[in-house]
Structure 1
Amino acid sequence: MFKFNFKVEADTSEDPEAVKSAIFSNEGNSEPESENTKNIDWYQAEKVKPIDNIISTLDFYELNAKEMDVGNTKIRHLVAGFLLDDIKAQTHLENLDIRKSEENHSDLIAGVYEGGAKIWECTESLLVYLSEKHEDSFWKDKRVLDLGCGSGLLGIYAMKHGARVDFQDYNKDVLEYITYPNVLLNLDESLTDDGKLQFLDKHTSLYAGDWAHFTQLTKEVEKYDLILTSETIYNIENQQKLLETFAGRLKPDGIILVAAKSHYFGVGGGLEQFSEKIKLENVFRCENVWQADDNLKRGILQLKFQ
């Protein structure tokens, strides 16, 4: 695991896009991996394309989609229960990680499945925050990354307001069978089938795999103005990779918004613990910009480079 101990220093002689990026190296000081993670063979990162029959099944998706109001914006998305039942009914999809999670009755199988089929509470909180915080004009021409995207609702919200959005999730299955259909459900209805595929090809990219591998895979890709992520800090042992990804993929003047619960029982991570880690590393400035008033304690952190 990488030690997050690099310093950020502005140098006018350097390319501004190269300033404030992480140094990825296995040399030097490193943190020991725990028994829970050292034997996990994390998925390598890869760029994911739509499955061949995605357009032909779009009508079926539309009949089983749900509509969500976020401020004045409507977002359509597949219902997870319907989707999982459909996947289980197709015998040729028996090896999908989504299916394995359902058969194991678990939202989390370390190194195999990371809960992407479910829309978590903090995602809805961050959507509301975005709708209340930013005018529609804020998103125009922004480059946005929906990191750990799952259903992709955060990125879809940004996309519907004019941002150029990329989506990343650990599981390729999630991107193929949940994220891509949800993106298609929210495209301009006047587009032809070919037009929708062309839009996907020109205006968005989807990536699967481990965060460290993703950062390396996309190191030549333009960095992001805004990184949105929800419910991704629950595993303390993966937080280092998450912070390295933030540092490697964010523009020098970019913003990160992290939505999470105050504490994740059974795994140890949470907003308070994560905030302290950020402060100790002294790479990002961290501000708590929103907190829930109800019994489910959760909040939103805003990160910027020091």
Structure 2
Amino acid sequence: MFKFNFEVEEDASEDPQSVKSPIFEKDAEEADSEKTKDIDWYQAVKVQPTDNLISILDFYELNAKEIEVGKTTIRHLVAGFLLDDIKAQSDLQDLDIRKSEENHSDLIAGVYEGGAKIWECTDDLLQYLSEKHEDSFWKDKRVLDLGCGSGLLGIYAIKQGARVDFQDYNKDVLEYITYPNILLNVEETLTDDEKLKFLDTNTNLYAGDWSHFAELTKDLEKYDLILTSETIYNTENQGKLLETFAGRLKSDGVVLVAAKSHYFGVGGGLEQFSGKIKQGNVFRSESVWQADENLKRGILQLNFK
């Protein structure tokens, strides 16, 4: 049984050139945490498909699940199957995904950030997108699926006609989950070479810490839309998240954040995050969707002021 291990800390050794003159100042609690624990956050890198991606795709096809989002069908790997497959391969001992499984935790500070699991707020945001936007909305859009994990948000955007980049903390997640999921959703009639060309033409995948990702891509075209789900649970990383929004969003762009109203044990949640946004005085935010269930969830929309 996986569980959250909410002991992720802000990076005390952050390269000062990564985020210059922070817009979103750290509060006293965040500053104190930086002094008490030094986490070596992964540097950002662009991730390429593994050499055997195409050859194992037929095997993945047999173990994929379908979900319906409005009029769109999305296929994706089942996490349980994937984890069993990884554990069965002796040459994959060092994968961060495997370490999380062996530690029975979805979060290992500085090592793994829960990318193998599809969190419920992702479903909320998928449904919201399907109901809110017509097909024409996506034409010529540049979209970022930030903290993508399985990549379902970005895959939905691709299938509507957008060009999408994917970012996740873990390279392993992108190689063994996100890339296969993207290819499970391309036209089946494409040849192997055409599938690889599709990836090269329509997507970029990046691993690593948010602030390092923002620095790595600072000279590239910015995004019309940034989609992110279940990424605000750790208050100590929210400053980096907001800095990434500010650095990678077009001036007239939109950010959609799907999250729970409260994450027990760490104090993060939509209300707290809204206060952080207001404190930064960079974005205006509004609640555009809410679920009134036992564990309340919602979606925030952010725009530059």
Normalized against structure 1, the TM-score is what? Answer: 0.90
Give 1:30 deviation, angstroms: 6.2
Alpha-carbon contact 2:23-2:280 (below 8 Å) kept? no
Partner of 1:257: 256
Aligned mates of 1:37, 1:96 — CA distance in 2: 28
Measure, in 2, the Cα distance between the counterparts of 1:154 and 1:29: 26
Correspondence for 1:127:
126
Q: Is the 8 A contact 2:25 2:239 kept in 1?
A: no
Deviation at 1:137, TM superposition (A): 1.1
CA offsets 1:171-190 (integer angstroms, 9 cap, x no match) = 00000000000000000111
Q: CA deviation at 1:38?
A: 3.7
**Equivalent residue, structure 2, for 1:71:** 70
The 8 Å contact of residues 33 and 237 in structure 1, kept in 2 or not, is answered as: no
- Cα distance in 2 for partners of 1:131, 1:261 equals 20
Partner AA of 1:24 in structure 2: V
User: Displacement of 1:23 after TM fit?
Assistant: 9.1
Alignment CA distance shift 1:27-1:65 (3 Å): closer
- Where structure 2 has 5 or more consecutive residues not aligned to the other structure, the ranges are 1-9, 12-16
State the alpha-carbon separation in 2 of the partners of residues 88 and 61 from structure 1.
16
Residue 25 of structure 2 contacts residue 280 of structure 2 at CA under 8 Å; is this kept in 1?
A: no
* Match runs of 1:154-193 below 5 Å: 154-193=153-192
Tell me if 1:236 matches 2:235. yes
Pair 99,27 (structure 1): closer, same or farther in 2 beyond 3 Å: closer
Contact between 2:24 and 2:279, CA under 8 Å: does it hold in 1?
no
Cα separation, 2, equivalents of 1:198 and 1:28: 39
Matched residue SS, 2:19: coil
| 1:266 Cα deviation from its structure 2 partner | 1.3
Q: Which residue of 2 aligns with 1:274?
A: 273
The answer to whether the Cα contact below 8 Å between 2:225 and 2:249 also exists between their aligned partners in 1 is yes
Give the counterpart letter for 2:241 in structure 1: L
Structure 1's consecutive aligned runs of 4 or more residues displaced over 6 angstroms after TM superposition are 26-30
Q: Identity rate of aligned residues, in percent? A: 79
Amino acid paired to 1:215: A
Partner of 2:301: 302
For residue 19 of structure 2, the aligned residue among 14, 17, 24 is 24
User: Aligned in 2, Cα 1:36/1:51: closer, same or farther, shift over 3 Å?
Assistant: farther
The one-letter code matched in structure 2 to 1:62 is E
- Which whole-Å CA distance do the structure 1 matches of 2:291 and 2:120 have between them? 11
Are residue 81 (structure 1) and residue 80 (structure 2) matched?
yes
Give the aligned partner of residue 11 of structure 1.
none
Number of aligned residue pairs: 287
* Structure 1: tracts of 5 or more residues without a match: 3-21
Task: Give the equivalent residue in structure 2 for 1:107.
Answer: 106
TM-score, scaled relative to structure 2: 0.91
Structure-2 change in CA distance of 1:52 and 1:223 (3 Å): same
Give the distance between the partners of 2:24 and 2:294, measured in 1 at CA: 41
**CA 1:245 to 1:35, structure 2 compared with 1: closer, same or farther past 3 Å?**
closer
- Residue deviations 1:187-231, cap 9 Å, x none? 011111100000101110000000000000001110000000000
Distance in 2 between the 1:305 and 1:27 partners? 16
Task: Return the offset for 1:139.
Answer: 0.5
Aligned to 2:38: 39
Partner of 2:7: none
Which one-letter code corresponds to 2:78 in the other structure? V
- Whether the aligned pair in 1 keeps the contact of 2:76 and 2:184 (CA below 8 Å) is yes
Residue 198 of structure 1: aligned partner:
197
CA distance in 1, matches of 2:34, 2:20: 22
- Residue in 1 that maps onto 2:146: 147
Quote the Cα distance in structure 1 between the aligned partners of 2:263 and 2:23: 31
Of 25-34 and 70-79, more deviation after overlay is shown by 25-34
Q: Secondary structure at the match of 2:113?
A: coil
Residue 5 of structure 2 corresponds to none
C-alpha distance in 1 between matches for 2:22 and 2:240: 16
